[in-house]
Amino acid sequence: MLWNYLTPYAPEQQAQSALISAGSVAVEQNDNWISFEPAVVQGAAVIFYPGALVSPEAYSPLAKSIAEAGHPFYIAKMPLNLAVTKGDAAAEIIRVHPKLSFVMGGHSLGGVMASRYAAEHAEQLQGVFFLASYPDEKGSLKGTTLSVLSLLGTEDQVIDMKSYRAGRSLLPDNTLYYSVEGGNHAQFGSYGVQKGDGTPEISEEEQQQLTKSAMLDWLSNLK
């Protein structure tokens, strides 16, 4: 019964396709992360924590599109597909890539856990991003100089809005908030319909294109 409860949302076909190296991006996997590395690095690298019970592969279309713009992208693999089980997953990624500068963030629960790591290790990072997510008290970034980006779909019915609103008080005053018009919770990844989510008014491809554009604008303005 527990195993049924912990069954993750699987990647859809477009996510599987994005796991194949193509063009300027080399895709590789090890036991701890999936890497999307551009032939020429043109900015900060990205560490990504998946949402709860979502296969890391489900975020490969977004990862690859950002890597194509010159930003190495590393999706952390979590035990049981729960970021809460390995909140320090970023540490090893940073350690083995000493020449790169980093931002980190995540989707849903992944963003909560990413902000906790960032709060403890702000000196290792340039910024933090949240996709349908927010910090909790342990992940407060209020006292840091990190650049922060927060994206939320207007049709998201999964996120706890009370916690989201409370989380805004834990972010720097210059945090950038971006409303994804017509977007929902699940379409930040490519894993199909999530239970309890709102009906999107835009396609998954459109939502991820808007997400990519917002992230690239933010990444290009990092100090």
The residue ranges of every structural domain in the chain are: 9-220
**Token pair belonging to 218:** 């933010």
Nearest Cα to Cα of residue 61 among 204, 216, 192, 202: 204
Separation CA 202–CA 211 (nearest Å): 12
For the structural domain made of 9-220, what CATH number should be given? 3.40.50.1820
Average pLDDT of 91-110? 98
C-beta of residue 116 within 8 angstroms of C-beta of residue 140: no
Please state whether the predicted TM-score (pTM) of the whole model is above 0.85: yes
pLDDT digits (tens, 9 = 90+) for 54-82: 999 999 999 999 999 999 999 999 998 88
Q: Could you give the CA distance from residue 51 to residue 134 in angstroms, rounded to a whole number? A: 12
User: Given CA atoms 96, 97, 103, 104 in this order, what sign does their dihedral have?
Assistant: negative
Q: Indicate the residue type of 21.
A: S
* Stronger pLDDT, 194 or 80, i.e. the higher one: 194
Which pLDDT value is given to residue 5? 64
DSSP 114-157: HHHHHHH-GGG-SEEEEES----GGG--TTS--EEEEEEETT--
Tokens read off for 172 = 């720097």
Residue-level pLDDT at 1: 40
Q: Phi first, then psi: give them for residue 147, nearest 5 degrees.
A: -80, 135
